[in-house]
Structure 1
């Protein structure tokens, strides 16, 4: 009888460890998938903001803003962060009127971009933290997937002058 309790105990421990490992591997996969989805959403918001800025520049603010918007729209992935930072700097140089629909579109797109960037940063941080754990590294649970990358840009939120009423 005593040998049977050892066998039952061993089987239970092996079962619990296996369950934990399967759960951990699933978590690594889920976090990677969520980080990829957040990267796609971030990319979509970057494109929307650049397109809205291009429309605004065509109608009102001229060549520098339009050039920055076009460069951001056409940027290669390796150059995207620099192009987006340049677009943010150009947008901060112009006086945006929130009562103008074109300006309001850029302001709203910038707010949504800031939120998408924060979500992406949080998910990348979580995925990297889980993937950096010793057990995950030892068992190579993240193999076949690249490490999630941060998208390092300036805060894209645009400020509106205090004397202009916001709707």
Structure 2
């Protein structure tokens, strides 16, 4: 049942079959959204996903893109975890996806996630606590989540819609 809910949440976030507005559009894009911006064609995406690079090497390779420094860091971290692969059409969940699906079910997205400042290790350590250790995420997904969160959190309070605060 949980798997069905997770898949439904991803479909909603991706807008599959609907014309709904993403209520979480205020959150920074994750690797999947940034991938489409940095590599706009399927051929460019396939070429990028064929490469084996560290996050630092990806940062250097993304300098010609129109992404901001934070967006480049987010995409570089994501690609260093998922490439090389042949995903192109169905990239795995990125940090934004994972936060939206996993964090809100237990606590406030605002105070429990969006306003937290932690480094990558600080985000990874949360999975050691008794109430987080059984979250159904692979080690790679936990690393993708930690990379995204360390780069993009905390958000500024004024960037979060008032109805989603507290």
For the criterion TM > 0.5, the same-fold answer is no
User: Which has more radius of gyration?
Assistant: 1
> TM-score range, shorter-chain basis?
under 0.3
- Compare relative contact order (CA 8 Å, sep 6+) and give the higher one, 1 or 2: 1
